[in-house]
Amino acid sequence: MKTIRTFISLILLLPLAIMSCEDKISPTLESAVPVLAVDAWLNNKPQDQVIVLTLSQAYFDATNPPGASGAVVIVSDDAGKVYSFTEDATKAGNYVWKRPIGQVFGAVGNKYKLSIQYKGETFEASSRMGRVPKIDSITYDTQKRVGSKDSLTRGQFWATDPKGSGDTYWIRTYKNGVLLSKPREINISYDAGFSAGGDADGVVFITPIRRGINSNDQDSSGKTLSPISKGDSLNVQLNSITLQAYNYLNQVSTQTNRPGGFQELFATPLANVSTNISNTKTDGSKVLGFFNVSSVSTAGKRYK
């Protein structure tokens, strides 16, 4: 529904933007103890898998988050196979599973359990690797910009959600090798549509999702830049995610995608995003973050 909100605020911007104004401020925030944050998004791409453990920082801390060292990190599947993640000696908090040659991590349909032992406490989470359809193609099209002479080129990917309701995906895009990872670039789908109950099962991904692979950057004057120029390439990775992960990313998007302006009229209150990781001890330390295992299909194309 983000698109709809964006749409409304765009319209509103026209007459009223002149009068509104935004100021960067530095309010004093309550202090809080650091909490373990788990960044465990694994996939079956042919590469090493990394789980990053960090500690939360004060909100305005402008440094990289401190790594959480000395943890024991293990992932096991329901067939009893155990994957050990060992801490990278050069990067505190990065725990790596070295991929044996010719193997990938996990298999579609398997269930996985994450177990982290850190400072005497055990944190656990589980996930399942879902199926993913292949990407048929990536296409580019150029449209004249509304109200201007120049044009905008955008990409879209083409794929069909397999029959059977309840497949959830995260579509991640690399533009010229750089991951588009801004909050507004989170592109998730439920079957081929936005959300559950949408009856968009077993069809081609709907337009906003197909087109959700573009960066929508603006120059300093606020003019939208063409997402694609001659010579650019897009690499689209369609990741299967669990329903929990889909809900989680929805929350992340709501909480982090704050373009400001009149969209604030329709902004939901700040709230903590959930986690699927739990402390085995009921009254133990809090934990943040997410564990998900994806299967991935990829496709890339250069715009010539």
Partner 1 sequence: MPRLICVVVSLFLFYQGLAQDKFTINGYIKDASNGEALIGATVFIKEIRSGATTNEYGFYSITLPPATYSVNYSYIGFQPISKTVELNQNTQISVELQAETEQLEEVVVRGEIEQANVQNTEMSTNKLEMKTILKLPTLFGESDVIRSLILLPGVSTVGEGASGFNVRGGSVGQNLILLDEAPVYNSSHLFGFFSVFNPDAVKDTKLYKGAVPSRYGGRLASILDVRMKEGNSKKMEVTGGIGSIFSRLAVEGPLIKDKASFIIAVRRSYIDVLARPFVQLLKDGGALNFYDLTMKANYNINRKNRLYLSGYFGRDNFKFDATQGFNWGNATSSLRWNHLFNERLFSNLTLVYSKYDYALQFGKDDRNNFSWNSSISNFILRPQFTYFINSKNELNFGGDATYYTFEPANAVGITNGNSVDLSLDKKYNLETALYIGNSQKVTEELSIDYGLRYSHFQYMGPGTAYTYNDTIPGARKRVIASTKYNSGQNIATYGNFEPRFSFKIQTSETSSIKGSYNRMAQYLHLISNTTASNPLDVWNPSSNNIKPELADQFTLGYFRDLGKEHTYELSVEGYLRYTQNQIDYIDGANLLINRYLEGDLLSGLGRAYGIETYFQKKSGRLTGWISYTLGRTELKVDGINRGDWYETRYNQTHNIKIAGFYDINKRWSMSGNFVYTSGTPTTFPTSRYIEQGILIPYNANDSRNNVHLPAYHRLDISFRLEGKKMKDGKERKNTDYWVFSFYNVYSRRNPFSIYFSQNDQRLPQGQPLQSQATQLSIIGSIVPSVSYNFKF
| Binding positions for partner 1, 19-78, rule CB under 8 A | 19-27, 29-35, 37, 39, 41, 54-65
Nearest to 193 by CA among 206, 210, 174: 206
| Position among 137, 139, 274, 280 found at the interface with partner 1 (CB under 8 A) | 274
Cβ closer to partner 1: 29 or 79?
Answer: 29
Q: What sign results for the dihedral spanned by CA atoms 195, 201, 207, 211?
A: positive
Cα distances (angstroms) measured from residue 125 to each of 85, 237, 244, 290: 15, 24, 11, 8
Give the whole-angstrom CA distance, residue 52 versus residue 94: 5
Nearer to partner 1, 101 or 294 (CB): 294
Nearer to partner 1, 101 or 270 (CB): 270
Beta carbon of residue 232, minimum distance to partner 1 (angstroms, whole number): 14
- Size of the residue set binding partner 1 (CB under 8 A): 92
Residue 73 CA to residue 86 CA, distance in Å, equals 7
Answer for which of 155, 290, 294, 297 binds partner 1 (CB under 8 A) is 290
Q: Are 191 and 200 in contact (CB under 8 A)?
A: yes
Which one, 66 or 300, has the nearer CB to partner 1? 66
Q: Which of 70, 98, 217, 223 binds partner 1 (CB under 8 A)?
A: 217
Instruction: Give the integer Cα–Cα distance in Å for 169 and 46.
Output: 19
Toward partner 1, which CB reaches closer, 8 or 74? 8
278 sits near partner 1 (criterion: CB under 8 A): no
Closest listed residue to residue 42, CA positions, set 233, 289, 228, 303? 289
Give residues 165-204 in contact with partner 1 (rule: CB under 8 A).
178-179, 181-183, 186, 192-200, 203-204
For the chain, what is the radius of gyration of the CA atoms? 21
Q: What's the Cα-to-Cα distance from 141 to each of 151, 157, 234, 299, 303, rounded to whole Å?
A: 10, 11, 13, 17, 10
Q: Which stretch binds partner 1 (CB under 8 A): 75-83, 115-123, 230-238, 254-262?
A: 254-262
Measuring CA to CA, which residue among 301, 263, 293 is closest to residue 113?
293
Give the bridge partners for 155, in sequence order. Answer: 140
Interface characters, 126-145, with partner 1 (x: CB under 8 A): --------------------
Distance CA 252, CA 41 (A): 15
> Among residues 82 and 225, whose Cβ is nearest to partner 1?
225
What's the min distance (Å) between Cβ of 39 and partner 1? 5
Binders of partner 1 among residues 218 to 247 (CB under 8 A) are 247
* Nearest CB to partner 1, comparing residues 4 and 82: 4
